[in-house]
């Protein structure tokens, strides 16, 4: 176990595919709809409810990459426009503001080995993404693969796969990141053979209810609970997964109690329970 803070621990079990949980189609769809809801719709004023929501999809090729912006209303989904992005790696949306973050795997930024995060404002126009800022990742944080924004909109987390690190950015009130990234370098875990595993931080996903995120590392075959703060990225817990990870992002359930990840070596899913243990002191 690495540095710990608190007592949040993921505990896993594997469910062979196809899933055989005794739930009805209606219950499943209701849960999926709740997971897809990204803002508290019923707490918004009527004018905001009638305004279009934005959906972003990315396409990549060897020559170019594009982020496509769609406006969604009650009765239609309309393509607003597409934005070309060099060295596209991943994107994430702000939970409240019309802001999107794009990580670029440029290998070098301003002559230093690191990736960069572009911040865009989203507008309903022929050019829907307006560049606000370009924020470099920490030194040697190369190979970004995933971005995630905390539900409170205060922190942005990024994985640096080839740089073997996690990066965190503090987000300002307008959604732009502060200029200096907080970095946490991964060194691998000790295997039963006595050798150390190689680390490749890949996917990072925030809990929908809490200020911590799960980071998936296919190299060390570990799930790590990460909690960013003003000063550092703390590790709350680690969980080794003997079945490995497929190169896809884990998914939280809407209540934040469970995490579902695809396994690499078997056609199956693993379901992890995240439990908050209470510390008691006597005397």
Top pLDDT among 279 and 195 is at 195
What average pLDDT does this structure show over 13-18? 38
Top pLDDT among 162 and 64 is at 162
Backbone phi, psi, residue 230, to 5°: -65, -25
In this prediction, residue 190 has a pLDDT band, given cuts at 50, 70 and 90, of low
Average of per-residue pLDDT values in the chain: 81
pLDDT digits (tens, 9 = 90+) for 69-116: 999 988 889 999 999 999 999 999 999 999 999 999 998 999 999 999
Other beta carbons less than 10 A from residue 165's beta carbon: 25
User: How many whole angstroms separate alpha carbon 45 and alpha carbon 237?
Assistant: 40
- Using a CB cutoff of 8 Å and minimum separation of 24, what contacts does 16-21 make? 16/266, 16/267, 16/268, 17/267, 17/268, 17/269, 19/269
pTM of the model: 0.79
Q: Spell out the residues 6+ positions from residue 60 whose beta carbon is closer than 8 angstroms to its own.
A: 88
Q: Spell out the residues 6+ positions from residue 49 whose beta carbon is closer than 8 angstroms to its own.
A: 41
């Amino acid at each position: 176990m690495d540095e710990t803070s608190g007592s949040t621990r993921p505990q896993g079990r594997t469910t062979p595919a196809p899933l055989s949980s005794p739930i009805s189609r209606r219950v499943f769809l209701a849960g999926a709809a709740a997971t897809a809801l990204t803002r508290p719709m019923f707490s918004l004023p009527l004018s905001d409810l009638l305004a279009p929501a934005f959906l972003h999809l990315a396409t990549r090729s060897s020559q170019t990459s594009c982020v496509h912006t769609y406006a969604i209303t009650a009765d239609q989904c309309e393509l607003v426009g597409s934005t070309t992005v060099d060295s596209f790696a991943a994107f994430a949306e702000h939970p409240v503001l019309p802001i999107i973050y794009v990580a670029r795997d440029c290998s070098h930024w301003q002559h230093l080995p690191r990736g960069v995060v572009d911040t865009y404002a989203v507008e309903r126009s022929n050019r829907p993404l307006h560049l606000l800022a370009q924020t470099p990742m920490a030194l040697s944080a190369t190979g970004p693969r995933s971005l995630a924004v905390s539900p409170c909109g205060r922190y942005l987390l990024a994985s640096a796969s080839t740089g073997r690190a996690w990066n965190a950015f503090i987000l300002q009130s307008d959604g732009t990141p502060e200029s200096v990234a907080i970095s946490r370098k991964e060194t691998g875990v000790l295997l039963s053979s006595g050798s150390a595993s190689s680390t490749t931080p890949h996917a990072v996903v925030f809990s929908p209810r809490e200020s911590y995120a799960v980071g998936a590392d296919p190299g060390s075959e570990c799930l790590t609970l990460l909690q960013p703060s003003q000063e550092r990225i703390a590790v709350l817990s680690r969980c080794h997964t003997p079945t490995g990870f497929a190169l896809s992002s884990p998914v939280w359930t809407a209540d934040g109690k469970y995490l579902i990840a695809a396994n690499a070596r078997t056609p199956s899913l693993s379901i992890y329970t995240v439990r908050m243990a209470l510390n008691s002191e006597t005397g």
